[in-house]
Structure formats: C-alpha cells, structure tokens
Amino acid sequence: MKHFPHFLTRSRSARSGTTPSGQVDFVGAGPGDPELLTLKALKALETADVVIHDRLVSPEILERARRGALILDAGKEGFGLAMAQAEINALIVQHASRGAHVVRLKSGDATVFGRLDEEIDAVTTASLDYRVVPGITSASAAVATIGQSLTKRTRNASVRFLTGHDMKGFAEHDWAALARTGEVAAIYMGKRSARFIQGRLLMHGANPATPVTIIENASRPDQRVIATTLARLEPDLTDAGLTGPALTLYGLAPRLAEAVDLPLPLKELAQ
C-alpha cells in the first residue's frame, strides 16, 4: 500500500529549486454553457498566459480568458486536417517550457474521452508541472436537461460511458450486457455509429422500444432534445439532421414525455 497524502503538492515541491518553468493546467470547459465552468476553471482562464483549446470549446468560454492571454485553436482544420496530436503536445510543452502558464482547455471533462494521457505524457517527459481541473462531462449536462438520473434505485446500480467509435472504427462493447432491461449508457460520439450500435443491441436482444434520447449541443442556447426508441434511433437521427456535438442517452426518456402520459417504453414516441 502506498499513501499519497499530498499528491500533487509533493509532485510540485520535489521540483523546487530547479530552473523556473511554466505550469500546465488541463482544464475541463464543460459542455458549452459558460455558467457550467467550475470556479477553478474560471480562475485558471483568468490567469492564463496561453490557452490552447479544442474545436468544441464555445467562444463564450474563451471570452472568459485573461485579456492578454494568447488563444490558440488546436482544433483548427487547415487543409481539411485538424492539428495532429504530436503537434498539440509540442505546442503545450513549447509554451510551458519558456515559463508560461498554459491552460489546455478541453470540452466537457478532460478525463472522459479527452485524449488526456498523451498530453500528460508529453508534459511529464518535459519535466513540467501540471494539474487536472475536472469539468462537467456531456452526460451530466444531458441527463440534467431531461430531468433524469444516470442511476436510479431499483432500475440500475451502474451506468456506462462509452464511445461510438475508437481508433479501429466503430467501437465494440459488451452489447449483451447493455441489451438487458434497465441498463443505462451515455454514448459519446455516437452520431455516425448510430446504425451500428442499433444493430448490435437489437441483435443481442434489446427491446426495440427501449427509450433513447439524443441531446445535441447540451447546455447551449441551440440545444435540441430528440426522444426516440432503439427501433427508430437511426432514421430519427437522420431526420433530425444534427450538426452539433450530440450525446446519446440509451435507456432514458425525457421526464416531460413521461409526465404528459407517454408511458415509455410501451408507446412509440415518434409522431
């Protein structure tokens, strides 16, 4: 057993006395609404020298950064390609090594499908200090919007966050387990893989009437909530013509739909 009573503090003080160098804060920006920034994230932005942000971070959040801070868009697509991970790593290290307070701003929570590890590896290899400031992940904001919980006594004692696709293409998951009654999952990046996920779940015996809710642009002014079922997931997603980031809540319907006497999953929500 190893105790780390003052984990980050110790990591930092161990380097005191060395050449002064910068600090890297990996900060979760939340799902889009600037009001969903944590106080800690806001303070980091207000004291940053350099902010390196993802494509999905909203302009309203970037406006909260210190006026003099250099704002760099790591999600910018030049010639059709976003900046490569190695380039982003190099950018972070380059600025922090010359003493800057770098805020690496990621949408949602940096520890959930945020490719955080590669960047921390680069920062620790360069012997730079860092900390991770957690953020509100999309699943939290999405489920709050529809007035439901990710877990509920007597329904589900666990919830899964999963990605629609991984490095090899559409991501494989434990479909048989997810197909059971009462399961709840938050599916990230599930737009393009909707047909694949739908097919896998139905093949493994999931009830076609299982409620599925897609929240586009969660917490933003242009948020849209699309309530459907597993059976109609793919056509309804296509009809909706989503353009923004979307989070799919498998196994949950909006509470309003329940309240207005649409007893899910018994009744088809589509109209």
Q: Specify the stretch interacting with a copy of itself by CB under 8 A; choose among 16-24, 76-84, 86-94, 226-234.
A: 226-234
- Given a contact cutoff of 8 angstroms between Cβ atoms, the answer to whether 74 and 83 are in contact is yes
Print the SS3 string covering 113-157: CCCHHHHHHHHHHCCCEEEEECCCCHHHHHHHHCCCCCCECCCEC
Residue 60: its H or E element? helix 59-62
Residues numbered 50 to 89 that lie near a copy of itself (CB under 8 A) are none
Tokens 């013509």: give the residue.
241
Residues numbered 243 to 262 that lie near a copy of itself (CB under 8 A) are 254-257, 259
Least distance in Å: CB of 79 to a copy of itself?
24
Judged by beta carbon, residue 198 or residue 228, the one nearer a copy of itself is: 228
Question: Should residue 16 be labelled a site residue for a copy of itself when binding is judged by CB under 8 A?
Answer: no
What whole-number distance in Å separates Cα of residue 171 and Cα of residue 23?
A: 35
Residues numbered 189 to 208 that lie near a copy of itself (CB under 8 A) are none
Cis amide linkage into residue 263, ω under 30° from 0: no
Which of 8, 84, 86, 203 contacts a copy of itself by CB under 8 A?
Answer: 8
Residues numbered 85 to 114 that lie near a copy of itself (CB under 8 A) are 109-114
Residue type, 52: I
Question: Should residue 7 be labelled a site residue for a copy of itself when binding is judged by CB under 8 A?
Answer: yes
Residues numbered 123 to 182 that lie near a copy of itself (CB under 8 A) are 124, 130-137, 140-141, 143-154, 157-163, 166-167, 171-174, 177
Question: Distances from the Cα of 83 to the Cαs of 53, 78, 150, 156, 244, in angstroms?
Answer: 11, 8, 34, 40, 20
Residue of 76, 152, 239, 267 marked catalytic:
76
Q: Specify the stretch interacting with a copy of itself by CB under 8 A; choose among 5-13, 72-80, 190-198, 199-207.
A: 5-13
Least distance in Å: CB of 95 to a copy of itself?
20
Label residue 196 exposed, middle or buried (CB < 10 Å: 0-12, 13-18, 19+).
Answer: middle
Respond yes or no: is residue 121 known to be catalytic. no
Respond yes or no: is residue 54 known to be catalytic. yes
Label residue 14 exposed, middle or buried (CB < 10 Å: 0-12, 13-18, 19+).
Answer: exposed
Q: Specify the stretch interacting with a copy of itself by CB under 8 A; choose among 16-24, 38-46, 47-55, 194-202.
A: 38-46
Residue of 25, 54, 109, 236 marked catalytic:
54
Judged by beta carbon, residue 98 or residue 205, the one nearer a copy of itself is: 205
Which of 56, 70, 209, 225 contacts a copy of itself by CB under 8 A?
Answer: 225
Least distance in Å: CB of 231 to a copy of itself?
11
Burial code (b: 16+ CB inside 10 Å, e: under 16) for 134-159 equals: bbbbbbbbbbbbbebebeeeeebeeb
Q: Which residues are catalytic?
A: 54, 76
